Structure 1
Amino acid sequence: STICFCIQYYSVYCIVYRVISYLCSPDFSPSMLVLSPDAKGGRLCVGLPTQPRKNKTPGQENQQMPRNRTGINWNLPWNNNLDFAFGTWNTLSLNRPGSCQTLVNEINKYKVMIVALQEIRWKETGSLRVEQGYILHGDCGDTHNLGTGFYVHQSLFNSVKDFKPINNRMSVLTVEAKWFDVTFINVHAPTEDKDDDTKETFYSELERIYNTIPRRNIKIVLGDMNAQLGKETAFRSVIGAESLHDRSNDNGTRLINFTMENGLIISSTRFQHKNIHKGTWVSPDGRTVNQIDHIAIERRFANSIKDVRSFRGADCDSDHFLVMARMNLRMKKVKKPEGHYFKYCLHSLKNNEVCTNFVKEIESHIRREPTLEVQINVDENWKNCKESVQTATKKTLKKRKKKDKVWFDIECKRMVKKRKEIRLQWLAERDNDEMRQRYFNERKNTQAFLRQTKRQHYNKLVEDAEENHKQHNSREMFQNIRKATQPYKKKERFVKDTEGNMLTNDEAISKRWAEYFSQLLSAEDPANTLDFEFPATVDADVPLPSIEEIQATINKLKNNKACGEDLIYAELIKKGGAELVTRLKHLIDHIWEQEKMPEDWKTAIITPIHKKNDPLNCDNYRGIALLDIAYKIVSLIILKRILPLAEDTVGEYQCGFRTGRSTVDQIFCLGQIMEKSREFNSPLHMLFVDFRKAYDSIHRNTLLNILQEFQFPSKIVRLISMCISETYAKVQTPAGLSEKFKINTGLRQGDPMSPVLFNLVLEKIDREFQKKIMDEGICR
């Protein structure tokens, strides 16, 4: 009742607007006003007397506009932005070289916002980022058979509320519009020669899916129906008189029955067009053209469809044509989440001129006399340094551009364009066998050329890897090897919740990732505490780091490493100049004296890395924590002071994370012991201990007590406590950064001190274990 009231209210509003427009017209006279009852709806229509219809010249705007059977004038000024284009396309296969790129280029050319795709033939369910949009697809199995999905333009992607792949013949997409949610049901029906059981199963599943959609949504069923619809007057309530065929086949009758039972209108048969714009499939010999791809919409919204037709000019090497509809629909504007990383061309700092300008920009900001609050407050002091580097980076360095698909070059595009031109000539002369043979030869040559170009690209990667190996350029060598050998892994945007339901909303995705890592990184307090023997407090003098030590620490930072939330890379600090180092020296001195570090340094950015199995399951990811580079400088300075004490404390048995040693040595020794045990027939007992979430389960207060027991200077203990206390994290996802959450336990991943501190905890555990053995009278 609410929806009916809104529609009636809107109709009255439009009538009033038209009356006022006519009354305000300078050419208005009372004789021009006509009030007449609407023949169909019984409503009053207000407007000018009907004028003789003028024939529009070809190419004139809105040539194929359908008749407007409603009292709403969709061409009013406020409705100019209601033109929403969507469609359906059977791609035949997107598992061929260059087919996906060709498809996306054609869709962008015709400016279609949403396209239902059939026969994608991709494994696993997920999403793929493509040029100006995304492809959401279902799983078609290892056989690469069938598979449906959607292309969604990037401007609408944040409006996607839900995507559900039902099976390899069906998928559902729900998009948030201005007043209603729009649900697209993408179907690929069995062909006409399939048995009745297969068809009944398909339509029963379609009926079930259709009934699960909320009634308030606009429901649109579209796809490859494999159904020929006739012009039978008995079915005129759901089909129009503009079908390409005269009689309906078996699939067509089943589709008509489905639409009649669910109150749908098949819009693809309602608009007058040439026959060449009605056909959607052409046979391999080019002699048969059928209209088997259709678009159906609920009857109450049928008048919002302005036009439906096929476009033969769109070519993705398929025997189906792109079927596109235009609809009066305003999509809801959803704010796009802000990205986290801006990748800059850091290699340009090797240029002396660029580097000099970069240093000058930093000095122009840093040399400004800081206020007393900035000098004393570590947060304000760090904010001043951070903004100086960030501003200089934006002014002097260019943002790194995203690289296109390397192997799909201009020559590939030229071959595809040539194939398309010959295809259009063949479609214009379908009875010409010579033209048909020419098209098929060109199609074969294009496909062979694309495969050859892709193969040459991978061979070039191997050759580059060999050349990098000769030049001792290991980083580029391994990058090329990885590109040439490892299969392509797309970055998954969607995830599943704890109940296995797919999440498509950006806010829900970020919340799910934050919830997962918050639970993963929050261990419970230990039930049994260790016994500690605290000796006298050691108040050894811990000197402040000198500017030379800070400069040496900065020089040891590794290049080509990810940065933290401040977006300051190690290369930027290395090339920042003497003024930046001096300001960092003042900042570190205040941190050392106050034993308090900036709040920004307490937050880590966690990047999920997929390991194996289902990419939609958060459990199949491991997190990589990214810390601010400036914090790592302080951490390395503290590490330099605790490393000698740790070496004297940890036993000789430990080879992990120690200079000049390796766990490989321990594995070799274990192998030798096993060989000697077998050689001398001596019994051997081995105990393997697997620490579950070892780094993340360290109790922080216990760690501080261990440091005091091992007689570390109290100043060092307090600095370490400063680094590991009150830490937070955010998760970097394709949907943006999640909300910040607190981490109460564990060592900080990516912190240079973490391995050494972990060894000290293991040393305490080993001593307790040995003590327990000796107390029970058991010798090693």
Structure 2
Amino acid sequence: MLQPRRTAHIAEEFHRASVDVAFLQETRIHGETECHERQRLLLAGPPAGSALQGRNGVGFSFSRKAERQKPGVLQQAGNASRIGGAGDEEVAEFYRDLGEAVRKVPNGNPVVIGGDFNARVGERNEETAAVLGRFMEGQRYPNRNGQCLLEFCLEHELVVANSFFQHPPHHKGSWQHPRSKKWHELDYFLVRRRDLSRVCDVRVFRLIDCWSDHRFETAVTIRSVAEATTEDKGTRPAPEWFAETCSQLLPLLEHKKKARVVYENVSRKGETGVESKRREYVRARNAAAQAVRRARNAWWSQKGRELEEAFASNNFSKLHRFWKELQRPQGRPGINAILKEGQKAGDPPLTDAGEVRARFGRFFEGVLNLPSQAVEGVTDRIPQARVEWWMDRIPSRAEVREAVKRLPNGKAAGADSIVAEQLKAGGEAMISRLLDVFRAVWKERGVPKVFRDAVIVPVPKKGDRLLCDNWREIALLIVAGKVLAKIVGGRIQKRNKKKIGESQAGFREGRGTIDMLFTARQIMEKARERQIRLFWLFVDLTKAFDTVNRVALRVLLLKVGIPPLLTESDIIMSFIQDMKACVEVNGERTEPFAVKNGVRQGCVIGSLLFLILFEAVVQEALQGWDAGVEVEVDFAEPFTSKKAGRSAFKISVTDLKFADDLAAPETQERRMQEFADRLQAECDRWGLKISIKKTEMMVQPGRGEEKHTREPRQSTIAIKGQPLQEVEQFRYLGGVMSNDGSLNGEIYHRIQKVGMVWEKLQGEVWKQAGLTTKTKMHMFRGAVLPPSSMGQRRGQPEKTRSGSWSHGAWRV
């Protein structure tokens, strides 16, 4: 690098391309030096004589325009470390040093970090949404350096600017692999999240030759601070702790404001008593400040203790509500724009409120009326079960009282604007009225029309919110109808407890995602110990609840023993027959449209009816087929000796289901293909559709086989002649399953979750000097630690990765 011809060439290239500031890396020099060519080069590297001499090194290049900036506008710092090939300790030390450099920069100053991090950060997901944009090229999951980079960005509120700008692949990749000749994006620009609006573009500039195997990465930053900070960001809501304590704080704040006005008036007019008025104002100001600090500390301390108690008592719903509030985006609520049919990202969207509302109405009408045709006589092979006559009795007062009691509070009202709290406050008089209505339902053999209809509210999913496909529907139902649905649903659930197989854990009391994850990981762990090749098929159904064929469902309910009074007389089916729905957008509703297919979402009956149908589909697919993974269960009976009390039996695990999510393990490729064919054929018979695009395969290698598959590839397993995608990792029921059978992917996933919660609480908790250490520890134990262990029963990470959690926790 120090050769004159190289420094002159690089300076000339930067000058020709009008580059004001450039970051140089791997300059391979020792000590510090400065070169003056067409640009000013500041270079630094390891000390002369050290073991690292001739390696690493960083530098900066400044144009004359950049050098003319006034003092304090431009600060530079460099780190001569190298990330590639370093161990966990070296990488952790590098990011600690880099973090210290970032913390020394005043909060009001922008930070730009650029360099070759040798990192592949993977695709954007829920945990990395605060760091990555939508346009990230490369592999699906991050590597070790990528995980460290993401955690560093979360900790210091930085974003990867490259991922927020869409470019073709040849303008994204900065380094070409010498063997595969594939371009990878390893060089990144990191900026503060609040300064992202000042970065106009980041891309690779292929015409600059810098004597490097990396292409030159450029970040165009031309917006001034004034332009970036004067945008309309909407009204910022008051903090939650202030909203709950404002009744005590407002009098003190008002007194402080009045004391200030009096002091300023006396001081301006030159009247006597200025000093006493000043002291009075200072006392009022200090009293208000102390009250605010005490109120904030008391609120966060109470919140932390509540979260700790929720975690200790397995009240995960309370923890999830808190995390959901943290992830709620700030800014102006409402849906202001959407793309119309046929448009793509980048096209001008619809902005008129009426057009946006009509677009959502057409979209959800199509989603809720997907065609579904079942084969005639699809239930003929199912034997007639004994009729459960106890299910058709008229609801009793005790059942109505219990159903009202079990209604969740804090939920949105239906079309009648009546919430659950109002029914509960009605007492026995309200229960009597409801009981009269339900008796009329049994007499008339059908539910009232208002019990069927729903109000659809769009809720955003991941991805571009201008696309209707990235919105899902939430159905708001009449609360009185929910009471009746709970009564009938309770009876169906009691029946399902005996009739639905153990492999189904969805919508069942005492079962959850943890059971399915634990079983899947146990199978993978045992296969890894014995070095057996294991295939996993993860099936995704296209709009499973919305494509249930109602005619086939009615016949199936009679076959499985549901009394005719509830089926043929339409007490159950009348919840969905002749159903209508309208879409509510920004408080305004569309015209109602008919919903002619599927079961009702948001209703307990709809979920339970789907379980019955999906269980029938899977059992029919497995009929006459003896396959799956054979598991030997060995346990000791209580109150017996260890030797005499031990017993063992073998079971065959063919599938693991949670509602419409199905995972199927198999040890032979041929039998895995046979199961896929059987399931596809049976879904076609019942009118369900398997999404080939989202259905994926994962192969856990056996003895002597390659352990890792870095990039997704086509599998040898196919559905309808289309090969499925084979992946290295799969997100299954909130956990991460890896094809090597280890917990490395799960550890990275947990670190990301912990880092996300930590980052969200930076400004509100960790950086608040007014909060005591005890309060911060309550929040740490109640909000930050639970994501690291929730939903996890057991497992063993690889020894080489055992330090990843400790290093990640230290950085957090």
Which TM class, normalised by the smaller chain length? 0.3 to 0.5
Which has the greater radius of gyration?
1
Q: Which has the higher contact order (CA 8 A, sep 6+)?
A: 2
**TM-score scaled by length of structure 1:** 0.42
**TM-score scaled by length of structure 2:** 0.40
